[in-house]
Amino acid sequence: MFLAAVVMVVLLMPRRDQKLYRYEINRPWGYSLLTAPFDVPVYRDSISSREMRDSLEATFLPVFNRNDNASKPIFDVLSKMHSISAEDRSALRSTLMRIYRDGIVSPETFEELKKNNRTEVRFVEGNQLVRSSATQFKTPRQAYAVIDSMFADPELRKSIGNMRLASLVEPNIILDTAATRQLFEERIQPVNAAIDVIQKGERIIDRGDRVTPQLYEILNTYEQMMKTRDFTSNRGDFFINLGQILFAILIFSALYCYLFLFRKKIWKDVKGLTAIIALLIAIYVVAAIVAPHLSNGIWLVPFVILPVVIVVLYDARTGFYCHVLEILLCATFVSSTFEFIFLQAMAGMVSIYTLRELTKRSQLLRTAAAVFMVYVIGFIAVELMHTGTLSSNVGRIIGYFAINSVLISFAYILIFVVEKLFGLTSLVTLVELCDINNPLLRELSEQCPGTFQHSMSVSNLAGDAARKINANPLIVRAGALYHDIGKVSNPAFFTENQHGVNPHDALPPEQSARIIIGHVLEGKKLAEKDKLPSVLHDMILQHHGRGLAKYFYTMAQRQQPDSTVNTEPFTYPGPNPQTIEASLLMMADAVEAASRSLPEHTIESITELVNKIIDGQVDAGLHRESPISFRDIQTIKESFINRLRTIYHVRIAYPKQ
């Protein structure tokens, strides 16, 4: 994946044969002094050339030829029409000759002349071009309409219809494309000719000079001549390509080192690592497509989408680090590198600050608005700092910033796509899953009201502790809400859902244990059926780990006092918690359930219960595979004790009247 990313970046980097320098009109020259290594002709700048060209096109007269044989077929047919009297035939012939003398052109030519307000055209007569009026030109349809309006006799009109005159009228004025093009090239040649020469050794531009339209044209000419004169040798190209490869390797090595040192969880997760690199490459590809083909088009690329998505999927530090690497990669497409890096860094910081936790779609709109403001203020600041004034294209750039900000608001869709493609879970998804109106949670509340209340209590208990140990509270809350969904298959077999009748009284301990343990695997099946994120699958499987169903194991021991009871039928399938969040859920689940059985909820009894349960889990090795620390465990204990004290606080007994 590392090699593929490097190759992709190097292939899309600006080639030496594409552009020697990166520069824009009305922007400062960012390189050192440039002198002419040979004589460089100076042509008119694009604005002046366009104005002269437009003026020439507006006054230019196209060249036409007159086809005298175009009317022959219609006169041949007319001479054979014996149903028309000699007098009418003569009048019709005269009308046709006059119309053809005025000129008949194709509908396309007529529309073109009308569109460009051409009242005159040129005709080739011998070796000369003669100007002639074009106001009398008609299309075949218009010519037939004139004939039709001049003859009112029904019999004559019928005869004209039998002639199929409408289909016989053909244009006799034909555009001479070759002559028109040749004449236009002759007239336009002075516009394209050089107006001056920068001699060898003469200064072209120096660092800090503004690239005027005239200088822009000179630099383009210089680069074209450099290519044709082959000033860049193969050896030079080799070193340029080598530098680009090293540049890409350093960028992605920095990413890999950061993840290996500070984000081991992402480093070990192939899907997560693939998602980050795919996002980096995707935005780089967009920049590579837009930047070379649109002036200032780099400002249209929504670079801020990258940190937004990564913050929602992972954390702010990783988001900003990846954003910095992205803008360093894409800085190769711009001439004003300082301005680009400054504006994108500011925008990235603001987007992360305004999107610390994405819980509502409206937050993205707020982020987009904040980024737009930073872009505009930053751009104006850099413009004033460099030139002391605002350039003429500032309005267009601000328009690009506005489009960029609108594109940022579509990050919500991109987050959804990345989640589905790479199997990741974002904060947005976790917030949506914590909605108790979710169909699975609604079914749990209807089928197992006691279990639902237990899950809600565990969610509050664990979520409060998660914030204090810097765990992910949303993962813990969602895991707590869904950890017991498997109980909907047999709600009556769980104490919190029973109403005086316990079906376990009629079952052997092994069978009861199998039913109780089965809620873990049933929960996993329901999670897969409802397409819950994989992180919730893990929380469901790990919230009991490889622990024992102690109640039924103890009952089995009592029934078989003289033999050793096999623990396997009473052991949950596991695995043991693999994350801090899963360990926290296991502790909260056990403590909340046990706290309901306390005869009295004093500080001493609650403290003893919490210590006993959590220390018992630690002694049993259930948290051995989790990265949780002893400091975290102590903080969790204190959080549980304070929370349970609040829940079970002693109420005042009101006296009777």
Q: Are 267 and 129 in the same domain?
A: no
User: Do 643 and 607 lie in a common domain?
Assistant: yes
Distances 174 to 75, 100, 146, 643 between C-alpha atoms, Å? 20, 12, 21, 94
| Span of 48-52, 64-68, 281-285, 538-542 with lowest mean pLDDT | 48-52
* Side chain identity at residue 593, one-letter code: A
Say if residue 508 is in the same domain as residue 625.
Answer: yes
The answer to whether position 545 is within a domain reads yes
526 inside domain: yes
Greatest mean pLDDT range, 139-143, 264-268, 372-376? 372-376
DSSP string for residues in 347-377: HHHHHHHHTSS--STHHHHHHHHHHHHHHHH
Q: Is residue 205 part of a domain?
A: no
Residue 186 shares a structural domain with residue 144: no
- 151 and 185 share one domain: no
In a domain, 32, yes or no: no
Cross-strand bridge partners of residue 44: none
Tell me the pLDDT tens digit for each residue of 564-597: 889 999 999 989 999 999 999 999 999 999 998 8
End-to-end Cα separation, the chain, in angstroms: 79
**Tokens encoding 492:** 């009556």
Question: Could you tell me the pLDDT band of residue 232, with boundaries at 50, 70 and 90?
Answer: very low
How many domains does the chain fold into?
Answer: 4
Dist. CA 159–CA 161, nearest whole Å: 5
Gap between the Cα atoms of 310 and 312, Å rounded: 5
Same domain as 51, residue 155:
no
Residues 322 and 336 in one domain: yes
Question: In 10 A of CB 456, how many CB atoms?
Answer: 17
> Is the per-residue pLDDT at 418 higher than 80?
yes
Please indicate, yes or no, if residue 533 is contained in any of the structural domains: yes
Verify that 499 and 566 share a domain, yes or no.
yes
**Res 365 pLDDT > 90:** no
Residue 187's CB is within 10 A of a number of other CB atoms, namely: 14
Residue 35 within a domain: no
Domain that holds residue 529: 441-647
The secondary structure element, H or E, covering residue 121 is strand 120-125
pTM assigned to the model: 0.62
| CA separation for the pair 460, 595 (Å, rounded) | 14
pLDDT class of 653 with cuts at 50, 70, 90: low
Instruction: Examine the domain organization and report whether 620 and 574 are in the same domain.
Output: yes
- Provide the token pair at 260: 């290996």
Displacement of CA 636 from its chain's centroid (Å): 40
| In the chain, % of residues over pLDDT 90 | 43
Please check whether residue 29 lies inside any domain of the structure.
Answer: no
- DSSP per-residue string spanning 248-271: HHHHHHHHHHHHHHH-HHHHH-HH
Work out the angle between the directed axes of helices 534-542 and 580-595 (0-180°, nearest 10): 50
Residues 378, 313, single domain; the answer is yes
> Is the residue at 85 inside a domain?
yes
Strand 120-125 vs strand 63-66: parallel, antiparallel, or unpaired?
parallel
Q: Which range scores top for mean pLDDT: 151-160, 225-234, 574-583?
A: 574-583
Per-position b or e across 460-489, b if 16+ CB within 10 A of its CB: bbbbbbbeebebbbbbbbbbbbbbbbbbbb
Give 463's contacts (C-beta < 8 A, 6+ positions apart).
473, 476, 477, 480
**Residues near 138 by beta carbon (within 8 Å), at least 6 away in sequence:** 99, 102, 103, 104, 105, 110, 146
Q: Average model confidence (pLDDT) for the chain?
A: 86
Asked if 19 contacts 333 with a C-beta cutoff of 8 angstroms, the reply is: no
Say yes or no to pLDDT of 450 above 50.
yes
d(CA 414, CA 406): 14
pLDDT for 252 beyond 90 = yes
Q: What is the pLDDT of residue 361?
A: 65
- The verdict on 162 and 178 lying in the same domain is no
For 28, residues 6+ apart whose C-beta sits below 8 A from its C-beta are 207, 208, 209, 210, 211, 336, 386, 387
CA 630, 632, 635, 636: dihedral to nearest 10 degrees?
A: -110
Same domain, 373 and 480: no
Last residue in a domain, options 364, 393, 422: 422
Nearest to 480 by CA among 535, 548, 443: 535
